[in-house]
Amino acid sequence: MQETNGLSQKQIEEALRPTTLWRRVVYLPTTGSTNNVAKGLAAQGAPEGTVVVADEQTAGRGRMGRRWLAPPATCLLCSILFRPDLPPTQAQRLTMLCSLAAADAVEEIAELQVWLKWPNDLVVKAQSPKPKAQNWRKLAGVLTETGMMGERLEFAVVGIGVNVNVPPETLPTLAPNATSILAEVGRPVERVTLLATFLSRVERRYEALRAGDSPHQDWAARLATLGQPVQATTSEGVLTGVAESVDEDGALLLHTQDGTLHRLVAGDVTLSS
């Protein structure tokens, strides 16, 4: 049976165990973009740990002005406000820890193995990859946006969209390589349970970050593309090479055939063979 009902403020508050981090949850049946709502709240002085959750977005965003599509009441659409004591160059650590927390939560709740794809995707490996075809499917995406106060990071909003109970027949309308938990495991998952598990994992990992641990080793260990021949599309053009490693700030180190090691801080990668 598919979950078709919307969430509610009460249901979400009941599912979250009392914690020090999650001080305020804002549930909206429908909104433009949860990231925009969270950024607006940040500008009004909302505390770290404010969480915005929606059942539907009318203007969901990916990176670089791309759209994020999600059929109403089938996905996890949520944004978290952080006020981290980090230099701006380390903001990607928040993307890393939230991606890891989401991957952990999906694995725990749905028993589905999840990988990460640099820099901001949660992916599932396809069961029967065709030669030359991309052998992963996108389950979720993360969008981190920051606000600066001079040279300092004033806030960071990490938004995540996870395709939870999207029926397989609807997936092609989202993106050619989209997948959902329902499509992968054949059963729906309670979104509020996934949300609560995700937030508890975020809190644990954020505590570790605040204690000085970088999530970068765990993140690198989950990256599906490391060691693989890839094509990277960057603002400077397309580069083909081997995705050698990532550094502590989340940049991808790409070795091209001419022997140059490129450090990429943003872009998209696809497997090139």
**Residues found near ligand BT5 in the complex (CB under 6 A):** 33-35, 57, 60-63, 66-70, 77, 79, 120-121, 138, 141-143, 159-161, 163, 174-175, 178
DSSP secondary structure code for residue 109 in this structure: H
Q: What angle do CA 182, 201, 152 make, to 5 degrees?
A: 120
Instruction: Output the smallest distance, CB 258 to ligand BT5, in A.
Output: 28
Please say which residue, 115 or 255, places its beta carbon nearer to ligand BT5: 115
Number of C-beta neighbours around residue 30 at 10 A? 12
Q: Looking at beta carbons, which residue is closest to ligand BT5?
A: 141
Instruction: Output the smallest distance, CB 164 to ligand BT5, in A.
Output: 10
Instruction: Output the smallest distance, CB 96 to ligand BT5, in A.
Output: 14
Please say which residue, 36 or 200, places its beta carbon nearer to ligand BT5: 36
Please say which residue, 2 or 257, places its beta carbon nearer to ligand BT5: 2
Please say which residue, 15 or 77, places its beta carbon nearer to ligand BT5: 77
- Do the Cβ atoms of 188 and 74 come closer than 8 Å? no
Question: CB within 8 A of 131, min separation 6: which ones?
Answer: none
Instruction: Output the smallest distance, CB 94 to ligand BT5, in A.
Output: 13
Residue type at position 157 = V
Instruction: Identify the burial level of 263 via C-beta atoms within 10 angstroms of its C-beta, where 0-12 means exposed, 13-18 middle and 19 or more buried.
Output: exposed
